[in-house]
């Protein structure tokens, strides 16, 4: 058994043994679980993929005369201003009012992080204490007081493979899906993915310090649509979506290469977010969870051509099969393509490993665990209010 305090002390002394979630698999094969658990202190995990439920809170400061912003636009993308006088939240998926799906909130956030200035427009009904009725100016990240990424739902624990059995091409948040099971897309880093390495949330919880967008962030809460009650394999790994994380971090620390806007053809705007999570090897059980390989990790194949809440599926497939470049469904060989970047996930895991090894990043013990029994509600369409 190890404690967070003991591991952090080793980190501060430069004596901690840190490996990535890929390296730990080979280490266990070579030295076994008992010796590896005693030797290794931290395993770094990471992912870099589209995370639509992302956005940023911005505080613009007060103009002279001051304004109580009622509506706000940044590069013609509307931000939600119903927070306070000069606060706004810009969502990654909000489209431009002039460019449509070619530019959106994610692009505004990326532009700010890249050091570009953006066009700020705001209007107001005017009050005695906030008499100004209109603002039209240009701002950069350095001009904003507080700018922090707050993402309500990131780092899905697992996500289904998407296919299309219909006769027509369909355009989805899982990319373009060809007819007659012409391709299969997936979005997960497999054996590197954070929540797949901690399936029961023993170390990842509220307050966990992480790598977020190139800077330091934290797990703020369970993510929206957190659904840990999914069916699980014998190794404890859920076979579909399951857990999610709400993440927060200082936008001014972040880097463009780990926070990128994306356009999904005929669907909309999204944002690629880099997330890295350190997992302390507190005991041999945690080592078992982190040492799972792509051959042992499975997800479900779902038919996205059925526009229903519950879609038909074609069973499970391992991430090793997905990474091979093709899978088989009903005797048909289907090419696979990842939406997430394995190369970026590896880069993030290595950066986090370096931060910890150099003593620049210590671990935080969660102040509260993520729930294990939560199940999302569905939205039912009703003709009248329930009595």
Domain boundaries, the chain: 4-52+150-369, 61-144
High-pLDDT (> 70) share of the chain, %? 99
**Helix and strand tally (H, E) in the chain?**
6, 26
Distance CA 145, CA 249 (A): 14
Judge whether 132 counts as a catalytic residue: no
pLDDT tens digit string along 281-292? 999 999 999 999
Q: How many C-beta atoms surround the C-beta of residue 324 within 10 A?
A: 11
**Tokens standing for residue 181:** 């099971």
126: left (phi over 0), alpha (psi -120 to 50) or beta: left
Give 86's contacts (C-beta < 8 A, 6+ positions apart). Answer: 59, 60, 61, 62, 66, 67, 68, 69
High-pLDDT (> 90) share of the chain, %? 97
pLDDT tens digit string along 116-142? 999 999 999 999 999 999 999 999 999
Give 77's contacts (C-beta < 8 A, 6+ positions apart). Answer: 90, 94, 95, 96, 97, 103, 104, 105, 107, 108
| Average pLDDT, integer, range 154-158 | 98
What pLDDT was estimated at residue 346?
98
Asked if 287 contacts 36 with a C-beta cutoff of 8 angstroms, the reply is: yes
* Stated pTM of the model: 0.97
Listing DSSP states for 322-345 in one string gives HHTTEEEETTEEEEEEESS-HHHH
What pLDDT was estimated at residue 386?
67
Residue 86 main-chain phi, psi, to 5 deg: -130, 35
pLDDT tens digit string along 331-349? 999 999 999 999 999 999 9
Q: Parallel, antiparallel, or unpaired: how do β-strands 184-186 and 332-338 relate?
A: parallel
Q: Parallel, antiparallel, or unpaired: how do β-strands 100-104 and 95-96 relate?
A: antiparallel
pLDDT tens digit string along 262-280? 999 999 999 999 999 999 9
From the number of C-beta atoms within 10 Å of its C-beta (0-12, 13-18, 19+), residue 76 rates as middle
Per the listing, tokens 């439920």 go with 53
Asked if 212 contacts 187 with a C-beta cutoff of 8 angstroms, the reply is: no
What pLDDT was estimated at residue 387?
61
What pLDDT was estimated at residue 105?
98
Give 374's contacts (C-beta < 8 A, 6+ positions apart). Answer: 222, 226, 227, 228, 229
What pLDDT was estimated at residue 145?
98
Listing DSSP states for 286-320 in one string gives HHHHHT--TTT-EEEEEETTS-SSS--EEEEEEHH
Look at the alpha carbons of 228, 24, 315, 189 in this order and tell me if their dihedral is positive or negative: positive
User: Of the listed 129, 343, 379, 381, which one is catalytic?
Assistant: 129
What pLDDT was estimated at residue 321?
98
pLDDT tens digit string along 283-329? 999 999 999 999 999 999 999 999 999 999 999 999 999 999 999 99
Give 342's contacts (C-beta < 8 A, 6+ positions apart). Answer: 189, 190, 192, 323
pLDDT tens digit string along 159-204? 999 999 999 999 999 999 999 999 999 999 999 999 999 999 999 9
Distance CA 196, CA 193 (A): 6
Question: Can you name the residues that pair with 42 across neighbouring β-strands?
Answer: 18, 280
pLDDT tens digit string along 36-77? 999 999 999 999 999 999 999 999 999 999 999 999 999 999
Residues in the chain: 387
**pLDDT surpassing 80 at residue 385:** no
Collapsing DSSP to helix, strand or coil, 27 comes out as: helix
Q: How confident is the model at residue 383 (pLDDT cuts 50, 70, 90)?
A: confident
**pLDDT surpassing 90 at residue 23:** yes
Peptide bond into 65 cis (omega under 30): yes
**pLDDT surpassing 90 at residue 90:** yes
What pLDDT was estimated at residue 374?
80
Question: Can you name the residues that pair with 31 across neighbouring β-strands?
Answer: none
Cα R_g (the chain), whole angstroms: 22
């Amino acid at each position: 058994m190890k404690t967070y305090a003991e591991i952090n002390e080793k980190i501060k002394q430069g004596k901690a043994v840190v490996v990535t979630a890929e390296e730990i698999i080979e280490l266990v094969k070579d030295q076994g679980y008992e010796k590896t658990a005693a030797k290794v202190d931290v395993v770094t995990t990471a992912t870099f993929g589209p995370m639509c439920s992302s956005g940023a809170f911005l505080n613009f400061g007060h103009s002279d005369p001051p304004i109580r912003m009622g509506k706000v636009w940044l590069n013609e993308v509307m931000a939600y201003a119903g927070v306070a006088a000069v606060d706004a939240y810009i969502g990654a998926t909000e489209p431009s009012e002039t460019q449509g799906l070619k530019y959106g909130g994610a692009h505004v956030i990326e532009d700010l992080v890249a050091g570009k200035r953006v066009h700020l427009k705001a209007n107001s009904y005017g009050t005695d204490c906030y008499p100004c009725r209109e603002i039209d100016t240009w701002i950069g990240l350095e001009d904003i007081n507080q700018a922090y990424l707050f993402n309500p739902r990131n780092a899905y624990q697992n996500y289904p493979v998407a296919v299309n059995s219909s006769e027509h091409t369909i355009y989805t948040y899982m990319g373009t899906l060809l007819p007659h099971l012409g391709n299969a897309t997936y979005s997960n880093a497999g054996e590197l993915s954070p929540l797949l390495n901690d399936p029961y949330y023993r170390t990842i919880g509220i307050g966990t310090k992480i790598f977020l967008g190139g800077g330091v962030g934290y797990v703020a809460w369970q993510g929206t649509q957190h659904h840990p009650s999914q069916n699980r394999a014998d190794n404890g790994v859920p076979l579909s979506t399951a857990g999610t994380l709400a993440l927060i971090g200082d936008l001014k620390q972040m880097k463009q290469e780990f926070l990128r806007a994306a356009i999904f053809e005929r669907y909309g705007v999204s944002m690629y977010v880099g997330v890295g999570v350190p997992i302390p090897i507190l005991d041999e059980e945690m080592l078992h969870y982190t040492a799972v390989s792509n051959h042992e990790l499975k997800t479900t194949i779902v038919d996205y051509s059925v526009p229903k809440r519950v879609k038909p599926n074609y069973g499970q497939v391992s991430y090793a099969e997905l990474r091979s470049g093709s899978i088989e469904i009903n005797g048909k060989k289907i090419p696979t393509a990842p939406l997430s970047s394995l190369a970026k996930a590896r880069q993030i895991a290595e950066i986090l490993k370096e931060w910890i090894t150099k003593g620049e990043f210590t671990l935080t013990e969660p102040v509260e665990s993520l729930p294990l029994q939560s199940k999302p509600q569905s939205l039912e369409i009703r003709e009248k209010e329930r009595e």
